[in-house]
Every structure is written in C-alpha cells, then in structure tokens.
Amino acid sequence: MSFDDLNPKQREAVEHMDGPLLILAGAGSGKTGTMTHRIAYMLECGVSPFSILAVTFTNKAAKEMKVRVEDLVGAVANEMWIMTFHSLCLRILRIYPEIVGYEKNFVIYDTADQKTLVKNIIKEKGISEREFTPQYLLSAISSCKEKKMTPEKYIETMDDNYKTKAIGTVYKEYCARMKKNNAMDFDDILLNCVLLFEKDEEVLLKYQNRFRYIMVDEYQDTNRIQYELIHMLADRHHNLCVVGDDDQCIYQWRGADIRNILEFERDFKEAKIIKLEQNYRSKANILAAAYSVIKNNSSRKSKKLWTAQEKGEKIRYFRADTDKEEASAIARQIFMMQEKGRKFTDFAILYRTNAQSRLFEASLSALGVPYRVLSGMRYYDRKEIKDMIAYMRLVVNPEDDLSLNRIINEPKRGMGEKTVEKIRAFAGVRREGMLKALDDEDVRETLPGKAYDKVIELVECLKLCRDERENLRVSDIYDNLLVKTGYLKALEESRSVEAEARMENLMEFKSVIYDYENETENPTIEDFMETLTLAAEVDNYDETQDAVTLMTMHSAKGLEFPVVFLPGMEDGLFPGNKAFDSVSGMEEERRLCYVGMTRAKELLCLSSAGERMRYGRTEYTRESQFLRELDKTLLSGDAVYEPKKYSAGYGAASGPGVSTGSVDGYSQKAFKPYDYLKYATAETQKSVNKTNVSFDAGDKVSHAKFGEGLVIQANDRIVTVAFDSVGIKKLAKDVAPIEKIR
C-alpha cells in the first residue's frame, strides 16, 4: 500500500503502532485520513482486524471512517469495531447485562421517556414542578452519573438543604424505577459498562486482550466516564492512540473535559506526541489570524498551523453602524461575489446564537438570495416563535381553532388529548369556535381540576388583549401574552440551555415588533400579522437549491466553506456575557472563535455593529475582545482600531475603520457587558405587572401609545383618561401601558 500522499508527520503517526500516542491534529490537518491509513498500515503489518477498536462520537463519523478504511483494505474492515462510544458499550452490555443487574431484554429510554418518568416521580413525591422542572432534574441526574456519583453518595456529600434533598429524592427513585423497568438511559449505557468492568475482572481482561490497539477520535470532547472506559480497556497493552485538538474543545457545557487531552502525558509517561500542524484547508492569512487569537489561551498545547498555500487575501473587517446595516452589508457582499462567479454554496454565515439568524434571513430574502439554516430551524419556524404567533392570531381571530389547538397546552395546563377532543366536540355541537366554548362556564366545569384555573387565565388574557387591542401597542399585546399565559415563566423555570435559547428567540421577536411599530404609520396587530405572514412566505426555500448556509459556530465544527462570515464580534455577544465570569469560560469562547475562523478556506470576513437591537432594546457595543487580540496587520485596511470613517462595506477603498465603542478606546481593564437577556425578560415582566399601581382622578399619566393625559375617573378595573392627542379613553388597568408622571 502506498502512503506517498501523506506528509512526514502524518506518516510518522501512521507508522507508530506500539505504545501510547497522542496525535494533536489541528483544524484541516487531515486527521481522518491519518487515522484510516494508520489502520491500513497495522493490517499490512499483520495486526488482526479483530484486535482493532476505533471509537468516535457520532454515527456519521463512524460510518465515514469505516467507508474510508474499506476503500483502503476492502471487506476486512467489517471485522473491526469502528463505532460510537454508546454502540461499543451497548454491544458489550447486551452480552453481560446480569453483572450490572439487568436482564438481556433491557430497553433504552429516550429523552421523552425520561421526562415522563421524572414527572411521575415529582407528582408522587409531592415536589413542586414549578421549582424543580423535569429538565432541571434530569440535567442534575446526568451530571451525577458522569461523575459516577450514586444517589446515596450525592445525598451524603452535598449540603443538607431543600434543593439537594429534592434532587437526591428524585435521583434515588429514578434509579430504582429504571432498574425495576429493566431500562437504561444514554448515561446508563456508558456508566454501566464501566461498572461492569469494575465488577468483573475476567470480562474486562477479555476485552483488554481482544482490543490490543485502540484509537479514539475527537478525544478533546470526551467526558470523565468515557475517559475511564477507554483507559480501562487500554490498561493492559497501552496501545492507545487518541486524536484531537485541544484548541477545538467547545463542548465543556455538555460535559467535555479538556483535561483529558491536556494531561495525556501525565496518564502515560511513555506517550509519544505528534503534532499535525500542516493545514490543507485555509490560506495562510486565515491561519495566522486564528493563531493570533488562540495563542492567548493558557490551557492549550503549543502548536501553530501552517500551510503550503499562498497567503491569500487579508481578513476583511467591517464595523457597521447598526445590526441591520451589518446584515445588509453581508447580504450585498454575497450577492456581488456570486455575480462575479462564486456559487451561493461557497458562503457560510456563522453566528454565536440562533437568535442572530433573523436579520440575515431577512436581508438575504430581500435580495432574493437562497439560504438554508443548518442544525436548527429558520427563525419563523422555531417552536417558540410559532407558539407566540398562534397566540397573537387568536387575539386577531378568536375562531382560529388551529392556533388554539397548538397553544392550548403550551405551556402545560393539564389538558390531555381526551380533554381537548371533548372541548372540540362541544364546540362542534354548538357550531362555535373552541375558544368561545371555553368561555362558557358549563364547558369549563367538565375540565380536569388542575386545568380549570389555567384555562380561565388563558381565555381571560386573550379576551382582554382582543378587547383592548385598539388601546395597546402590538408590543404591549405581545408582552401580556408572553407573561400572562405563563409561557415565559415556564421557560425561566426550566433552567435548561435549550430554554435559554428559546427565551433569546422570544426576546428577539420583540425587536421584530419594534421594527414594525417604528416603520409603520398606524401599527395594528391585524396589520402586523399580515406583514409577518408575508415575510414568512418569502422565507421559503428549496433545500436542493444552490444556497448560502446559516448556522451557529458550534454546529459548524468539522465543516469548511470557501468564504466565511463571522458577524456580531462584540463583547457580550461574542464572547458571550457569561464568559467574563471565569478564565475557563473565556478560553472556551476563544476556542469557539478559533473554530469559526478555521472553517474558512479562502476568505474570512469579520464584522460588528456599533448599535445592536437585542431583545427589543438598543445596545451600544464594544468590539470583541477577540478582535482586539487579532494581529491587526492581517486585517484589510490601515485604519483598524481607530474611530470609524465612512466605509461602503467590506474591503471598501477607504479602508475598514474600527470605532472604539467607548471613551477609553481599548483599555485592558476589566469589562463586564450587561446581561441583556436577563434585563429584557425582567422588563417584559415589569411592563405587564402594573396591577398594584393605583390611579386617582387628577393624576397626570403617560400612555405608551396616546401620550400624556389626565385621569378623570378610576376604579380597580378601568381608568378613564383625557388625552391631549385622542380625547377621552377608557383603559383596562390590567393591560394599559400607563404610568404616573412624577
């Protein structure tokens, strides 16, 4: 077999068979090719395929590796175990389930099954689901399992308080029920395999002797359980080859432990380290720019990527005045470059948060540029946005049963399918909409006890918003729906990463509403819904089209594109606000920046906005710390880090200027951006919760829509105000956006 297409370092890694080996494979350095050629080389040297184990994280990666090995060595590849961690453990557990207390026919519970089980336990134990959501408890249980912490050990070691008692109680019962049901979750699959090896040395010895050569891909993403598993299997022969890049460890938030790769030499004193530093993906300037950022991390292995390719174009940077200008500039650049011969598939826009996609979708749609959102839904297709649109449609049209069916149990109101079907039948008999039926006391009396009060709240909220819609801004209606239906509260109490992302999208939707209100002469909720429908229709795209790719930087790992745009390079957005709380948090964000930059093959474009509408409020930004770390000689233009002068966009003749965004320029003093999501949700709650304010005749007030006026009469429900602009108005106190003028 020829290995002529390998570079010297790749060949060195391929030919190192015996003893522990750490391959530090930088971005675009050909690690998959190196791994597959290493397997082929071992077979050529007489190693039995039966004794080779290759482990990776995803089924896709495992399949790709197996196909490439098969291309090199033929059908013998089928005799090897090339699989994911979970597939490996599950195959072993199916043979020896009784050792860890399971029967052979054990089942695997998915996330939905787990959630149902925890909800049942919460109910039976009398624990408040409002305080301890199933998502929160499952996250805590998963964290315990990753640490091999039993329920008893958790209860013993944690502080004795209400929170830990509740978690401990649920965790203990959860484990008991899983055992009783002969079921495992995904964490159990890994944990039980480790426990199996600990309990039965003969079984462990069997697999140690079988797998004389072990290879692990993406080693920087392993957690502590995966670490233990691999080290137990490799403990006899020490022929462990791990491949990874500490600079691309970006999943610590879901359990990845960067120490596993950083401390490999501590675990194996005789380990050989080979660095794959030749990059085959990116132009030299892109690599140099990425290095100038990542070198600021202290927790990393020393390495620097290089390429035989030309330097290429300098990194383009554009400081827009606003986030809208930033999105429009990017869309125009894509359009113009495509006109000059590039394909739309050449372009990727990589952002820090999903909520950022909205403006890019709108700007691309306006120019007729096809796009697709990968590893996530298009903005208006996201569940939380569709839910709130359904609520707003019911304000406009109470007869919209389709929308009511969507949100009647969002958030959970104790409305099972049978109950909903019963209401649907009532409405059918009466020949009226379901919402009107729910407004009837006779129909409400048929509801389950736990649903009764919540349904009344839903109906009253929708009725009040509809009755008062002429007196309310669209944004006021939205705030009331978000708060009074309990939707926002349910997400806040969930305390999950997914819930936070949904709140970001919901707060971003306020920016959509504010834009509409500012741009429309007589804004109404009816007109807004029509505008929204038209915008959503324009967003439709054909997935088979030549299209621009939109995705988060987390989702982009492992991919590459000729031209990459990284927008939103601002402190508080990227790096994110939480990164400023710890060194490790900032270093992970910096690694994410490195991953984003190294996705680019030919051209990298960075941008930021001086003003950004975030969650309905204008934020004045400061350029990202990562921009300040970037070697400015690699950026196009000669005015970098100076106040911005007029620029037509990326690479304009006048040069891209960078405004300071603050009076102190780029001082290195401690800086903590404001947490706009936290502020936005608090302001939303505040804007609705005004029922404790009392009004008396003679009070001077200000109304968000009608301006200033004088209170003529007031009671617990209605405030009558004489406004300078529109005359006398009767306003429902519960929703009226009025404030006393002090």
User: Which residues are marked as active site?
Assistant: 31-32, 217-218, 248, 599
Say which residues have a Cβ less than 8 Å from residue 178's Cβ, sequence separation at least 6.
109, 117, 184, 185, 188
Q: Are 76 and 43 in contact (CB under 8 A)?
A: yes
Place of tokens 């620097």: 304
Residue 588, both tokens? 């992970």
What are the two backbone dihedrals, phi and then psi, of residue 82, each rounded to the nearest 5 degrees?
A: -120, 105
Residue type, 110: D
Determine the Cα–Cα distance for residues 24 and 220; give it in Å rounded to an integer: 10
575 upstream amide cis, omega within 30 of 0: yes
Count CB-CB contacts under 10 A for residue 421: 10
* Beta bridge pairs of residue 723: 709, 727
Q: Are 93 and 183 in contact (CB under 8 A)?
A: no
Determine the Cα–Cα distance for residues 212 and 49; give it in Å rounded to an integer: 10
Determine the Cα–Cα distance for residues 283 and 289; give it in Å rounded to an integer: 10
Closest by alpha carbon to 464, among 449, 479, 452, 445? 479
3-class SS of residue 215: strand
Closest by alpha carbon to 304, among 553, 26, 600? 26
Q: What is the DSSP letter of 570?
A: B
Q: Are 543 and 575 in contact (CB under 8 A)?
A: no
| Helix (H) or strand (E) run with residue 730 in it | strand 727-732
What are the two backbone dihedrals, phi and then psi, of residue 267, each rounded to the nearest 5 degrees?
A: -70, -35
Count CB-CB contacts under 10 A for residue 338: 18
Q: Identify the burial level of 253 via C-beta atoms within 10 angstroms of its C-beta, where 0-12 means exposed, 13-18 middle and 19 or more buried.
A: exposed
Q: What is the DSSP letter of 314?
A: P
Determine the Cα–Cα distance for residues 217 and 60; give it in Å rounded to an integer: 13
Residue type, 72: L
